[in-house]
Amino acid sequence: MTRPERAAAVIAALARTYPHAHCELAYTTPLQLLIATILSAQCTDKRVNLVTPALFRTCRTAADFVALPAEQLEELIQSAGFFRAKAKNIRACCAALVERHGGEVPRTMDALTALAGVGRKTANVVLGNAFGLNVGVVVDTHVQRLTRRLGLTKQTTPEKIERDLIKLVPRAQWTLFSHWLIWHGRRRCTARNPDCATCELRALCPSADKTGK
């Protein structure tokens, strides 16, 4: 099976398995998703979703985040880890939103990645989920692990993995593809103990029954 053939088969299997896959960060506005994604660095979505309700009740606009004292912001997000660095990035990011974008979240990769704390992965999350724009493929730890296990890439860095996936996955499915893999990585193909025996992708996976790859 060629790599494009395997990719097509994997996409079909994932679509059948996870028809309701979606971003598991809780948000109602593009700004909330941006902030939640910044908080999700080296933190689980479940933990972020415990932090954001109180945070979003306190801060409803970018200007609110700028006006909130740093110590109060740090206290609100402390359990998300690396809270001082994240608070600094959130305040700087929101200050730039107010100064450059009228307080609104921009809809381009270049504008988003110019913001503090926002890399390509975060920008792809926001563009794909808040705006429905398939500009790239989100490559988080799950996507990185699973695409290598499935033989869709041999690359080791998110940027190079994304370039490979863009060639293999139809653009209309870029955002969904990441959701499918993230759901599969959380529910079946975990890092240490992948459930190969009951995996829906077992017949397509060159790493089946070979943990650690």
What residues are labeled active site?
121, 140
User: What sign does the CA torsion over 60, 65, 71, 77 have?
Assistant: positive
- Can you read off the two tokens belonging to residue 15? 């679509």
Q: Which pairs from 145-148 meet CB under 8 Å and 24+ separation? A: 145/185, 145/189, 145/191, 146/181, 146/184, 146/185, 146/189, 147/181, 148/213
Q: How far is CA 139 from the centre of its chain?
A: 7
The values of phi and psi at residue 165, to 5°, are -70, -35
Of 115, 138, 104, the residue nearest 31 (C-alpha): 104
Rounded to the nearest 10 degrees, how much is the dihedral formed by the CA atoms of 52, 119, 10, 189?
A: -60
| Cβ proximity of 92 and 84 under 8 Å | no
